[in-house]
Amino acid sequence: MTAGRIPSIEGGIQPTLLSTTGDIMYASSASNPARLAIGSSAQVLTVASGIPSWATATGPTFNAYLSSNQTVTSNVITKVQINTEEYDLGSCYDNATNYRFTPTTAGIYQVNITVQANGSSGTTIWLYKNGASIGELARTAGAGSPISGSRFVTMNGTTDYIEFFAQVASGTIVYGGQGTTIFGAAYLRSN
Amino acid sequence: MAQSLTDKIVETYPELAEDFSAFHPDRIYLRNDSDGAGDYIEAWNYLKPLPAGLKLGK
């Protein structure tokens, strides 16, 4: 027997099955041992198609903002064209055409939105999923001050998408600029 | 300058000028998808009819 190796017996585990520090042994079928090579830094062990594998620890996450003022019509619920990404882990946010987040990992996401506008009679944040409103996140009574809203949203990881709409009452500008009007979402966990 | 969709509605129904709660998805639902199609009326659930010259949808 060679030191540091698993003893071989007929029909058992080959002594050379594991070759690298951090390798893991598992059963690829009821009586067949197999090697799972060590994963990359920060990966987690998961199960896919009935066998263990390494996966990235977190799902899609992004944060983006409106780069310049967007003109809207008073009282019209308008999709905000959040066009500048601070980060987009997983490349699931469309910042050029549809301004929507379509995550490729199923699970629960926390969505955060901040908006600042000139509606003297108030501004409302609306969150849309798959083209329809799923609720009013926040509303302010007057102009000037930013408002923020947050919600947990379940996404199917394939077709589900979310968008951010704003409604400005007695006003026509959603203010742009980093730290002003912001849209972000982060993967929390599977569901 | 062209009259906005909201202005056209308020011109017909002046009582809506200060009734911001009327502009809600459950009542008078005005929407813009930022897709170039502009403002449109997604739903009209008001006690009075749609103003003349306006239609539902894009």
Shared-domain flag, residues A119 and A182: yes
Which of chain A's residues have a Cβ under 8 Å away from the Cβ of B5?
73, 76
- Same structural domain, A125 and A172: yes
Measured between beta carbons, the chain B residues lying within 8 angstroms of A126 are 25
- Other CB atoms within a 10 A radius of the CB of residue A128 amount to 19
Do A67 and A125 sit in the same domain of this protein? yes
CA-to-CA dists, residue A117 to A73, A97, A145, A147, angstroms? 12, 22, 8, 9
Residues A81 and A40 in one domain: no
Closest CA to A178 of A104, A116, A126: A116
Give me the residue label for tokens 């301004």.
A99
What domain range includes position B29? 5-44
Domain of A145 in residue numbering reads as 61-189
Count the residues in chain A. 191
Statement: residue A10 has pLDDT above 70: no
In-domain check, residue B50:
no
Closest B-chain CA to A98: B35
Do A94 and A82 share a domain, yes or no?
A: yes
Read off the pLDDT band of A172 (50, 70, 90).
very high
- Give the number of domains in chain A: 2
Q: Indicate yes or no: CB of A73 within 8 angstroms of CB of B32.
A: yes
Q: Residue B54: inside a domain, yes or no?
A: no
Residue A77 to residue B29, Cβ atoms within 8 A: yes
Q: Are residues A8 and A75 in the same domain?
A: no
Number of domains in chain B: 1
Question: Average pLDDT, whole number, for chain A?
Answer: 91
Last residue in a domain, options A36, A57, A78: A57
Specify whether A105 is located in the same domain as A67. Answer: yes
Of chain A, the percentage scoring pLDDT greater than 90 comes to 69
Main-chain phi, psi angles of A131, to 5 degrees: 90, 0
Candidates A78, A121, A170; nearest CB to B34: A78
Instruction: Find the DSSP H helices in B1-58.
Output: 5-12
pLDDT in tens, A82-92: 999 999 999 99
Domain annotation covers residue B12: yes
Confidence of residue A11 (pLDDT cuts 50, 70, 90): low
SS3 A101: strand
How far apart are the CA of B18 and the nearest CA of chain A, in angstroms? 9
pLDDT, average across residues A175-191: 94
Last residue of a domain, one of A32, A57, A82: A57
Residue B14 lies in a domain: yes
Q: Would residue B52 count as lying in a domain?
A: no
**Full DSSP string of A110-160:** EEEEEE-B--TT-EEEEEEETTEEEEEEEEESSSSS-EEEEEEEEE-SSS-
**Which value does ipTM take for this structure?**
0.96
From B10's Cα to the closest Cα of chain A, the distance in A is 11
Residues A69 and A19 in one domain: no
Q: Same structural domain for residues A44 and A79?
A: no
| Segment B12-23 mean pLDDT | 92
The answer to whether residue B24 is domain-embedded is yes
Q: Which residue of B25, B35, B39 is in closest CB contact with A73?
A: B39
3-state secondary structure of B7: helix
* Residue that is last in its domain, among A30, A57, A84: A57
Q: What is the CATH number of the domain that holds A135?
A: 2.60.120.40
The residue among A9 and A130 whose pLDDT is bigger is A130
Given a cut of 80, is residue A43 above it in pLDDT?
A: yes
Residue A114, C-beta contacts closer than 8 angstroms, at least 6 positions apart: A146, A147, A148, A180, A181, A182
Residues A47 and A12 both lie in one domain: yes
> Could you tell me if residue B16 is inside a domain?
yes
Q: Which of B4, B20, B33 sits opposite A73 (nearest CB)?
A: B4
- Asked whether residue B20 is assigned to any structural domain, the reply reads yes
Q: What is the DSSP letter of B58?
A: -
How far apart CA B20 and CA A75 sit, in angstroms, is 7
Q: Are residues A32 and A68 in the same domain?
A: no
A74 and A136 inside one domain: yes
Q: Spell out which residues of chain B touch residue A76, defining contact as CB-CB under 8 Å.
A: 4-6, 23, 30-32, 39
A1 pLDDT band, cuts 50/70/90, is very low
pLDDT at A155 over 80: yes
Say yes or no for a CB contact (<8 Å) between A169 and B20: yes
